[in-house]
Structure 1
Amino acid sequence: MNMNLSKLPGVIFLALSLSIATVSAATNCRSAAPNIAAGSRLAELADRELREFNGHRIGDDGHILKFGSIESENELLHDVETGVPSGNVSGRFAWRRVWEYWIALGKHVDGEPLHRKLVFVPGLLGNANSSARAREVELSTLLVGIGGDGDADIALREAAVRAALNDSPWSAAFIAYVMNQAGLRREQFQYSATHSDYIKAAFHASDTYAYRACDPVATMPRVGDLLCYSRGNKPLKTYSAWEAAVQDQNFISASHCEVVVDVDVGALKIETIGGNVLQSVARRKLRLNERGVLSRNHSPDAFPPADDNNCLIGKACKRQNFNRQYWSVLLQLK
C-alpha cells in the first residue's frame, strides 16, 4: 500500500518525517569516510590559536590543569614554537587577538565587529548606590566620538574595544576565525555570531555544506568535527531535541561548539579546542565509552547538581567539573 505522507495530520507527519530523516542521517554519520586533510588543517589552526593565546587546559575530569591568558588582558601572545611570550606575534596582546576573531567574522557578516555592545549604568561611576537600569551602546556609536589622533583618543578607542570584547560572547567568533583561516566559503559554512545558526544549517545541509549534524551518543567523533553543547534556561539535552527545534524557521538557542583536534581510540579520549571558555581559548579532554562515542557521564543529568551556594558561603566545596554539559550535537566534517 502506498502512503501519501502529505495527507497525514500535521503532528504525525512531522514526527514520521523526522524519524525517516533521523535514520538517513544516522546512516550517513556512520558510513561516511573522514575528510582527513581538511580535519587535520582545522585541528592545526585551532591548536595554533591555543598556543599563541596561552590558553587554558582542562582534564577529562573537568578540572582545570592550566589557567592561561584571558580575553581582556594586555599580556603578550606566545611564540607557537617556544611557548614563551613574544612581542612579534601578530596582534601582540590577548585582547587584540579576540578582536581579530570578530574581524574574521566581519569578512562574512557585514559590520559584525562594530555591532558589539557595551553595557553601562548611568551615574554608577560616581555613585556606587545608583539604582539606574543598565543600558547598552553599540561600539560603532561610541567610536564616532573618539576619532582623534591624540593619545587620549587612541587610548579610549582601545579601551572601548576591550570593554566590548568583555561584554560580547565570542566563542562563535572563534569558530568563524578558524573556518575563515581554513578557507571555508559561505556556502560551506554559515558564519554567524550565534552557534545555533551554523548548527541549524548542518541539519538542513546542502551538498556543498562542510558539516552534517550527527548524534554524539551514536557517532564516533573525528578530527575536524565540531562538538556542541546546549546551555541556558531551556537547554536542548538530546540530539532528537535539536532535530525538532531546528524545524522552526525562527529557531535560535544558546549553545557552544568546539573543534575536535585529537581522537585517541585506545585511551577512549578526545580533545577539543574552543573559544571564550572561562574567557580564554581552551583545550579540553573528554571521555569516550567502550563504543567509541561520547560518554554520557559528561551530562549534568548523570550526577546530582552541584551546590554552588554552599561552595560560595559555606566551608564545603567540591571542585567544579567544566566538562559537565549537554553535549547533544556533533557536526561531522564531510
Structure 2
Amino acid sequence: MFIRRPLSLCLFAFSLLSLPGTAIAADCRASQHNVAFATRLVALADREYREFNGHRIGDDGHLLKFGSAESETELLHDPVSGEASPTQSGRFAWRRVWEYWITLGRHVDGEPLHRKLVFVPELLEDPGTRERTREIELAKVLEGLVAEDDRVRSALREAAVRAALNDSAWSAAFISFLMDRAGLSGEQFRYTATHSDYIKAAFDGSDSYAYRACDPATVKPRIGDLLCYSRGNRPLKRFADWTRAVQSSRFVSASHCEVVIDVDAPARKIDTIGGNVLQSVARRRLRLNEAGVLSRNHSPEIFPQAEEKDCLTSKYCKRQNFNLQYWSVLLQLK
C-alpha cells in the first residue's frame, strides 16, 4: 500500500543523506573490497617485517621481541628461514629504510635528498656549548663531502645518509613504499612523507582513491585497511575530530598508520604492521570488542599511559603499553 509522507519529512531525510558524516557511514558499511589488492599488500608488509627483522608488540602493548633498528648495520633476514642473510637487497636495515625514501622520491620529486641532519655547531669540541640546534639538508651535506680516497668518500656519504635517516620520521615513507610495490598510482594513493596528507585524501572522497575514511569505533577492520592514530600535543582523539579538522585548507596533524595484515574474529584480535615504530618495522597485535571493532582498552582515556619519568626517578617502573594510542581513523580499502 502506498503511504503518502509529509514533504517536510522527506526533505529532512534527504538532508540527512546529504551530510558528509552520514554518507561516510553508509560507504563504510560496504561489504565488498579489493581482496586481490589487500592480499598483495598484506604479503608485501609481512615480507618487509620479516626481512627487516622487526619488533613484535603483544596485545597488552608490551614489547615481545626487539629486532633491528633504522640506522644499524645488522643484516636483513631471509623472510622464509628467518636467518640473517647477506644476499638480501640492500643488505642492511639502514639501507632498506633509505629504499623507502628512494621509492617515495619516484612520486615526490627530490624527497630523499630533502631529509635533514640535525646538528649543534661546535658540540663535538665543546659539550657545554649553548648554540641552538640547527638543520641542514642531506643534499647540501653530500655536495660538501670531498675526499680523494674513494673509501673515505664512500664512508662519509653512507654516514651522512644514516644520520639523516635517524633524524627523519619514516613511517609514512614506509606506507608509501608498500603502496608503490602493490601497484597504486598517484590517483589511487597520495604519496607523501606525512600521514595526514593521505588520510585527508581519503576524507576528500575521490572515486578513484583506493581508501575511504571510516570510524574505527563503529567499523570492523579488514585486511588491507590502514589503522591510524593521532599523536602530538593536540591529538585528534575521535573520528568526529578528524571530520572537522580536515575541512581546513591548511590541515596537518601528527599521526601514524599501520597496515591491517590479519583479522582473527573468533579470537577478537587483529595484527598490523607499521614502519618507524620504535625505530623499526613492527608487527603489533590489537584487541577487538564483542562487536568486532577496535577495543576501547587501547584508549589512553580509559587507561592512562605510565609516566616515563617514573622509570628514571623511582625505584619502581611500570611497563609501558605501546598500544595506548588515539586510534581514531580507519582507512578502509574500497
Fold match by TM threshold 0.5: yes
Secondary structure at the residue paired with 2:301? Answer: helix
Aligned to 2:73: 74
Query: What RMSD over aligned residues (CA atoms) do the two structures have, in Å?
Result: 1.6
Tell me if the contact between 2:245 and 2:251 (Cα under 8 Å) persists in the aligned partners: yes
Tell me if the contact between 1:34 and 1:222 (Cα under 8 Å) persists in the aligned partners: no
**Which 10-residue stretch deviates more, 122-131 or 29-38?**
29-38
Secondary structure at the residue paired with 1:247? Answer: coil
Tell me if the contact between 1:42 and 1:179 (Cα under 8 Å) persists in the aligned partners: yes
Q: TM-score, normalised by structure 1?
A: 0.94
Give 1:40-79 correspondences, 5 Å limit.
40-79=39-78
Give 1:121-132 correspondences, 5 Å limit.
121-132=120-131
Aligned to 1:211: 211
Structure 2 portions without partners, runs of 5+: 1-6
Tell me if the contact between 1:18 and 1:244 (Cα under 8 Å) persists in the aligned partners: no
Shift of 1:27: 1.2
Aligned to 1:325: 325
Shift of 1:72: 0.3
Query: Separation in 2 of the partners of 1:18 and 1:199?
Result: 23
Tell me if the contact between 2:38 and 2:224 (Cα under 8 Å) persists in the aligned partners: yes
Aligned to 2:169: 169
Aligned to 1:13: none
Tell me if the contact between 1:235 and 1:254 (Cα under 8 Å) persists in the aligned partners: yes
Aligned to 1:92: 91
Query: Separation in 1 of the partners of 2:157 and 2:313?
Result: 39
Which amino acid counterpart does residue 159 of structure 1 have in structure 2? A
Q: TM-score, normalised by structure 2?
A: 0.94
Shift of 1:2: 7.2
Query: Separation in 2 of the partners of 1:144 and 1:243?
Result: 44
Aligned to 2:4: none
CA separation of 1:48 and 1:294: change in aligned 2, threshold 3 A: same
Tell me if the contact between 2:225 and 2:259 (Cα under 8 Å) persists in the aligned partners: yes
CA separation of 1:52 and 1:27: change in aligned 2, threshold 3 A: same
Residue 220 of structure 2 is aligned to residue 220 of structure 1? yes
Q: Identity over the aligned pairs, expressed in percent?
A: 67
Query: Separation in 2 of the partners of 1:275 and 1:67?
Result: 14
**Which 10-residue stretch deviates more, 308-317 or 85-94?**
308-317
Which amino acid counterpart does residue 297 of structure 1 have in structure 2? N
Query: Separation in 2 of the partners of 1:327 and 1:248?
Result: 21
Query: Separation in 2 of the partners of 1:316 and 1:36?
Result: 48
Query: Separation in 2 of the partners of 1:264 and 1:206?
Result: 31
Please identify runs of 4+ aligned residues in structure 1 that moved more than 4 A.
16-19
Give CA deviations for 1:86-111 in whole Å, capped at 9, x if unaligned.
11000000000000000010010000
Tell me if the contact between 1:18 and 1:243 (Cα under 8 Å) persists in the aligned partners: no
Shift of 1:205: 2.1
Aligned to 1:233: 233
Query: Separation in 1 of the partners of 2:156 and 2:17?
Result: 52
Tell me if the contact between 2:303 and 2:324 (Cα under 8 Å) persists in the aligned partners: no
Which amino acid counterpart does residue 87 of structure 2 have in structure 1? N
Query: Separation in 2 of the partners of 1:308 and 1:197?
Result: 30
Tell me if the contact between 1:53 and 1:77 (Cα under 8 Å) persists in the aligned partners: yes
